Structure 1
Amino acid sequence: MSTDTKPTIAEEACFEAGIKFGTLYHQFAGTPISPDSAPSLARAMEESIENQPHCRDVTVDVQTEVLEAELAESTADYTELTGRFLEVEIVVDYEDCTIVTRMEMEDGYPLMALESVREH
C-alpha cells in the first residue's frame, strides 16, 4: 500500500521559494562587487529573480558596511559577492498561498528561512 501523498499548496509554494533562493544565491555568488557597484548589482539580482514564475517581490539589501569593512583590510577595490554581504526577502504567490522568505547571516552562515505562510 502506497503512503505517497500529494504536496499541499503551501508546500509547493515553499518549494518555489527555495528554487528562487537557490537561483539567486548560486547565480550571483562570486560576482565582483564594490561599494559603488552594490546598488546596481542588488537591482539586477531583484529583477532577475522577479522574472521567475510565482515570484511577486524580491528585495536585496547589500550590507555595504560589511563590504566596506572587508575592503578596508585589502589592497583591492572590490571583492566577490558572498552571502555575508546580503539580506534578501523573497515573496512568492502560488495559487492561493503567499510565502515570505528571508536570507540573512546567522552564526557566520547565510541561512534562508520561511518567515510566513498565508493561505487566501
Structure 2
Amino acid sequence: MTDSTPTDAQAACFEAGIKFGTLYHQFAGTPVAPESAAGLETAIEEAIENQPHCTDATVEIRCEELERELDASTADYTELTGRFLEVEIVVDYEGYEVVSRMEMEDGYPLMQLESVRDAL
C-alpha cells in the first residue's frame, strides 16, 4: 500500500489553488471601469491576502483590454472576467513557498504554478 498523505509541498500547491478559486469565483462579474480598476485591484489583493498562508497577492486589471471592450459598448462599465486579469499569488506553507500566476494564454485565463521552493 502506498502512503497517500500529501507532502507539505503538495499541500502548499493546494493552498495556492484555493486562493485562485476564491479570487476567480468571488470577483468574476464585479462591475469594473477604467476609473475603478485600481481600487478593485487593491480590494482583490487585500481579500486574498487575508486567507491563511497567503503572503502576497498582486492583481493587475488589464485596462487596455478593458477599454477595448468598452469602446464596443454603450455602457460605461463591464463585468470583470479572467481576460482582464493578471495575477500572482505567493503562498508560504510549512516552509514551502509556492508562486502561482494567472494570465491569458490563447484567449483563456490560465492558472499555473510558477515555482515551488523550500523556503527554509
Compute the TM-score of the two structures, normalised by the length of structure 2: 0.97
Tell me the equivalent position of 2:48.
Answer: 49
**CA-CA distance at 1:3 after TM superposition:** 2.9
CA–CA distance in structure 2, aligned partners of residues 9 and 95 of structure 1: 6
Alignment of 1:10-89 (within 5 A): 10-89=9-88
Instruction: State the percentage of identical aligned residues.
Output: 72
Consecutive unaligned residues in structure 2, runs of 5 or more: none
- Secondary structure of 2:51's partner? coil
- Secondary structure of 1:88's partner? strand
Task: Report the RMSD for the aligned CA atoms in angstroms.
Answer: 0.7
**CA-CA distance at 1:95 after TM superposition:** 0.8
**CA-CA distance at 1:5 after TM superposition:** 1.9
- Secondary structure of 1:89's partner? strand
CA–CA distance in structure 1, aligned partners of residues 35 and 10 of structure 2: 39
Compute the TM-score of the two structures, normalised by the length of structure 1: 0.97
Q: What does the per-residue CA deviation read over 1:30-85, in whole Å, with 9 as the maximum and x for residues that have no partner?
A: 00000000000010000000000000000000000000011001110000000000
Count of matched residue pairs: 119
Letter matched to residue 50 of structure 2: N
Letter matched to residue 84 of structure 2: F
Tell me the equivalent position of 1:101.
Answer: 100
Q: Where in structure 1 do 4 or more consecutive aligned residues deviate above 4 Å?
A: none
Letter matched to residue 117 of structure 2: R
Tell me the equivalent position of 1:114.
Answer: 113
CA–CA distance in structure 2, aligned partners of residues 111 and 3 of structure 1: 32
